[in-house]
Amino acid sequence: MSTENEGNEGTAVPAAPSVPPVPAAAPAGTAASAEGAGADRTSHTNGATYPAEPAAAAVEEPGHSPQPEPDTAPLPGPVPAAAPSGAQPHGAGWPPPPPLPAYGSGSHVGGSHGGGDSGGGPLWGAPPQVSEPPRRRSGGLVAAVLVAALVAGGVGGGIGYWAAEHNDDGIDSTTVSAADTPKDFKREPGTVAAVAAKALPSVVTIEAKAGGAGVGESGESEGGTGTGFVYDKEGHVLTNNHVVASAADGGTLSVTFSNGKEYDAEVIGRAQGYDVAVLKLKNAPSGLDPLALGNSEQVAVGDSTIAIGAPFGLSNTVTTGIISAKNRPVASGDGSSGKNSYMSALQTDASINPGNSGGPLLDARGAVIGINSAIQSAGSGLGQTQAGSIGLGFAIPINQAKNVAEQLIKTGKPVYPVIGATVDMAGKDAGAKIATQSTGGTPAVSPNGPAAKAGLKAGDIITQFNGKPVDSGPTLISEIWNHKPGDKVTLTYERDGKEHTAEVVLGKRTGDS
């Protein structure tokens, strides 16, 4: 639909066409088309404005006499508006208007047409003019919509003009800055961003390169990338054993901080069974800020977790999740030595991938609650593989890792608590079964060992450890290694279908066997 006011600013009203005055609208069914009557009176083609076609000749309406045509041409100049009903027209000699019939009246958007009835012509005494046949009611609705649109546009334009006038500060711009935006966006303590910002400077990416026999056919040293974190101000770094194992004998280690500074490092001690290792920075910088250690015993399922590491070599990567489970028995291996590590792990759904190993698992305060160590991958076993995360990650509880780290820093060798019995690791019994015969020259139950002193024998099936269910050999070892040598524990076991309990004082073994 074209708009009558569009493009006509400043355009003079065209003179009235030289046609005789037209009586009121013809009744329905006459030659005057209602649709033609409802069309706009001006059309726009390439911006030019043209007068509309003269109105069609009137058709005589039955029962009414048409008004006599004047002998002269229409008055020059603009056509005056029709006089309102009942008003006295100007000029002498005009008889008074006859009384108008009291027909029902209709509302017309934009003004009044004649007397408002269907049978009357132009007002008596009014100058001749071209009257517009009545429009259909739908035309009135269209006009109403048009007027509403114009009114809305006018209001919007007025508001926009007022806003521009009142916000004009000499700058040709309509952009308004939020008045309450702080100059410096600060992250509240406890948010992931705040915890990560504080922890990242103390997390390092470790590059391990093997030496000697570890050189491959291409001449390049074998090795890998892992993660670690600053343990103390003396420059000790805590990580996984499998991260540095390839460089432990004649290889090289380098440590890179989040600011890009790189330092050489050496292995102080490592514990293959715990999968824990301690490094020492060569020429350690001053001002090291060790990460705070939390208490893994106080962790609850559902607690928030934050993992930091270098998955697939992408250093300083931060992921989040929750504690999915506690005391999860996990046996993990490096895939090459054939030796496993055992842990009663914290399970998390924070994304952990190859390269995250050795990195910290933090709680919502930013305290270390575990060392990320292993993942469960679809179609593969537990361990450090090139498969991606499926939301099943496992971390060594920090309480256990701290005990191991202190031993390694003091002596360079790990110390393991033991019960003095060989357990069947592949057994499918509902518990941890003590082997029925010696293996490799070692008796199933060590004479005068902790188990022997507590009355356990070969073939006994241990079903509980301090009241916790034991369903396999790895589960039993994971529970034992959560303690220290000298701790007293309670074992529940079955023999010949009967259940027994025994108190055992844990012994110790130094070094990896």
What is the set of active-site residues? 242, 275, 357
Neighbours of 308 (CB within 10 A): 26
For residues 62 and 351, give the distance between their C-alpha atoms in angstroms, rounded to a whole number: 91
For residues 306 and 362, give the distance between their C-alpha atoms in angstroms, rounded to a whole number: 5
Supply the DSSP string of 41-105, one letter for each residue. S--EETTEE-PPPPPPPP-PPTTSPPPPPPSSPPPSSSPPPPPPTTPPPSSTTPPPPPPPP-PPP
For residues 398 and 412, give the distance between their C-alpha atoms in angstroms, rounded to a whole number: 19
Residue whose entry in the numeric block shows the structure tokens 């027909």: 103
For residues 399 and 404, give the distance between their C-alpha atoms in angstroms, rounded to a whole number: 9
Q: Which helix (H) or strand (E) holds 402?
A: helix 398-411
Q: How many CA atoms lie less than 13 Å away from 23 in the CB half-sphere?
A: 18
Please answer whether residues 275 and 373 qualify as being in contact, where contact means their C-beta atoms are separated by less than 8 angstroms.
yes
For residues 412 and 118, give the distance between their C-alpha atoms in angstroms, rounded to a whole number: 113
Among candidate residues 346, 345, 353, the one with its CA nearest the CA of residue 302: 346
For residues 157 and 66, give the distance between their C-alpha atoms in angstroms, rounded to a whole number: 48
Among candidate residues 392, 457, 382, the one with its CA nearest the CA of residue 422: 457
Among candidate residues 49, 50, 45, the one with its CA nearest the CA of residue 8: 49
Output the 3-class SS for 234-277.
Answer: CCEEEECHHHHHHHCCCCEEEEECCCCCEEEEEEEEEECCCCEE
The one-letter code for the residue type at 507 is G
For residues 400 and 273, give the distance between their C-alpha atoms in angstroms, rounded to a whole number: 12
For residues 212 and 220, give the distance between their C-alpha atoms in angstroms, rounded to a whole number: 11
For residues 50 and 66, give the distance between their C-alpha atoms in angstroms, rounded to a whole number: 30
For residues 510 and 140, give the distance between their C-alpha atoms in angstroms, rounded to a whole number: 100
Q: Cα–Cα–Cα angle for 373, 377, 378, nearest 5°? A: 170
